Chain A
Amino acid sequence: MKKLNIIMILAFALTQLCAAFPEGEELLRKIDANMLSNTMKAKTTMIVQTRRASRTMVSNNWSQGTDKAFSEYTAPAREKGTKMLKDGDNLWIYDPNTDRVIQISGNMLKQSVMGSDLSYEDMMEETKMQESYAAVVTDETVYEKRDCWILDLTAKKADVTYQNVKLYVDKERFLPLYQELYAKSGKLLKTYKVQEVMQSGQRWYPKKVLYKDELKSGKGTIFIVDRVEFDVKIPAHIFTKAALRK
């Protein structure tokens, strides 16, 4: 009888514990709902901190869903006028000095964008998390004074760049605040730390993020969202190759 009581107490405790953790899939759905929008227009600043110096680049960005995106660099002078277009799995870059449109593909997608800690793949891979990963909530923690769930994500498809991700998500705002991005081998490739957040309507969005390529020396790349608008009307011609040369 005593043994039965112990088993029942343990089973109850386990049920309570499981009930306290939300479903991983449900959390991913909420994260996607918070982070993704039909369209987005933003002005961003990227500060690349290398061993030698740091450089600041400013760009205007437009996106539509997870498939289409367009960026135009406005500063510094050397990068001014450089444009990038993402359409599905394709990425093109336009350089005004050589007047060339160059397609980036294959191994080049793993190269750094503008010397930053972000690769072209990082920029391109804005997919729904629900579609790319299976999630398990493993624990909870306090990160930057915010209560967070800890999620372990495993890629559903082999072509996802980071096959495993450890993610801290804000319990109330459903905003990922910290991520560790791993290769299939288990090697830590990159970390993502939100340093400041902003509210836009009902959404909570990262305002300042530190990306760090863990395979590179340097202090990482700071990505700042200066201004962002969601679900605004964007002319269709923005997402065409013709817009690159305009």
Chain B
Amino acid sequence: MLKFILKGLLRDRSRSFFPILIVTAGVMVIVFMASYLDGFVRSMLNQNARFETGHLKIVTNAYAENISQKPYDLGFIDMGDEMDDWKKDFPGIRWTPRIYFGALLDVPDSIGETREQGNVFGLAVDLKDETVVDDFRLQESLVRGRLPQKPNEIILSETLFDKLGLALNSTVTLLGSSFFGAMSFANFSVCGTVTFGVEAIDRSGLIADIEDVRTFLDMQDGASEYFGYLPGGEYDDETVQNIKQQFNAKYNLGDEFDPVMLALTDQNDLGFLLLYMKFAMALISFVFVIIIGIVLWNAGLMNGIRRYGEFGLRLAMGESKGHLYGWLLIESLVIGIIGSVIGAALSIVAVLYFKDKGFNFSAILKDTSMMVENVIYTTLNWKNVLLGMLPGIMATILGALLAGLGIFRRKTSQLFKELET
């Protein structure tokens, strides 16, 4: 029967060409869009994981309450043994300490009095760890100078550096508040400048080695946040949720300074955003099914008119209406499968091209505070390909289901009369 249907579709091109074309185009769009959205989400997750959230993050309960204010005085201190326990319990996870802090950066004149001042958003990371340098793409982000190599060297955002009229190797003083609330001063040398494309950091950012900042803030062996990264570097929500549950059950006993683990999706509304993206994708698929379904319904009706005589003859020869209707549905299924396969194949070619080349949005994103990489690469995911093909098949069946209903309105008693005309 399938052979017979295929012969019919191939020999009568007007029966198959237009529906296949529509399904091909639709599936291609939906698979490509899903792959692009996946790439966008992946980029957003990576960027957030690198700068803001980690795949996992450990903070104190007190810190978690006001996490948006980054209150480092509610962070961790003297962490030697505890850190070792975490590493033992969750091997394979890469842990890295960070301190976010605010301070006043003061530029002295020749007699050591204030010449210029600016507020800075400080980020202290372990610069001796090359993976951390890679996480931030520090080397690539350098505008001038070099990365800190000696104690008490810092890099500043290019914007702040310009604003304060600094030169490389200038000595500046940071005035802040220590972990215990005392006034804290330290001199640093500016060895380089960076631009990340992340507005908050580019406006007034300062990056320093964590050991120097620990001394400055009186946070011996401490950190405000510990970032954790899964092996392989890609975020996997199921694994992360599992680790989080185990960690919190063991270590978070309710004291305000007990550690609490947060997943990436618990931070920056990323959980909601991921859910929203899934919903958006489902909505796109649904709208696709409806629109293509209506187009194919219309095509089916036109086809029904064109094949009016054929259907009448088949009914007159004794074929039941149900059988004829079923035949039409099978025809549409075959069309749907052929169109979807062609559409998916074409979309895979496009996805593979942009997986390598990417879409460069640097001109658009330069003034936004969105945590997204400048170049978005599509992601080839077989789940997306299959999910794109499914609406293609569903739409053709929906179109045929509606268009074929006309068969049941034909009156057998009038068939010969119709055939005569």
Contacts and interface: CB of A to CB of B under 8 A. Distances in A.
A51 B181 CA distance: 11
Contact of A100 (B112, B177, B182): B112
Contacts of B181: 48, 50, 55, 112, 114-116
A93 B183 contact: yes
B182 A115 contact: yes
Nearest to A105: B117
Contacts of B185: 95, 97-98, 100, 102
Nearest to A79: B182
24 contacts: A50-B73, A51-B62, A51-B256, A52-B257, A55-B180, A55-B181, A78-B182, A78-B218, A93-B183, A97-B185, A98-B173, A99-B112, A100-B106, A100-B187, A101-B112, A101-B113, A101-B114, A102-B104, A102-B175, A102-B185, A106-B117, A115-B181, A115-B182, A241-B113
Nearest to A116: B181
B303 interface: no
B362 to A, nearest CB: 33
B332 interface: no
Interface residues of A, number: 30
Nearest to A244: B113
Nearest to A73: B183
Interface of B: 62, 73-74, 104, 106, 108, 112-114, 117, 119, 173, 175, 177-178, 180-183, 185-187, 218, 256-257
A78 B178 contact: yes
A52 B180 contact: yes
Given A78-B178, A116-B181, A52 B112 contact: no
A123 to B, nearest CB: 13
Nearest to A82: B183
A116 B178 CA distance: 12
Contacts, number: 75
A101 B106 CA distance: 10
Contacts of A99: 112
Contacts of B114: 101-103
Contact of B173 (A78, A79, A102, A106): A102
Interface string A72-115: 00000011001000000000010101111111011110011111
Contact of B119 (A57, A102, A107): A107
Nearest to B187: A98
A108 B183 contact: no
A102 B119 CA distance: 14
B74 A52 contact: yes
A100 B117 CA distance: 13
Contacts of B186: 97-98
Contacts of A106: 117
A66 B112 CA distance: 28
A6 interface: no
A52 B61 CA distance: 13
Contact of A51 (B74, B106, B108, B182): B74
A211 to B, nearest CB: 14
A19 interface: no
Interface string A46-59: 00101111010100
A115 B180 contact: yes
Interface string A35-76: 000000000000010111101010000000000000000000
A152 B413 CA distance: 99
A219 B74 CA distance: 15
Contacts of A55: 180-182
Contacts of B180: 50, 52-53, 55, 115
Contacts of B178: 78, 115
What are the 5 tightest A-B residue pairs by CB atom distance, in nearest-first order?
A115-B181, A95-B185, A103-B114, A98-B185, A100-B173
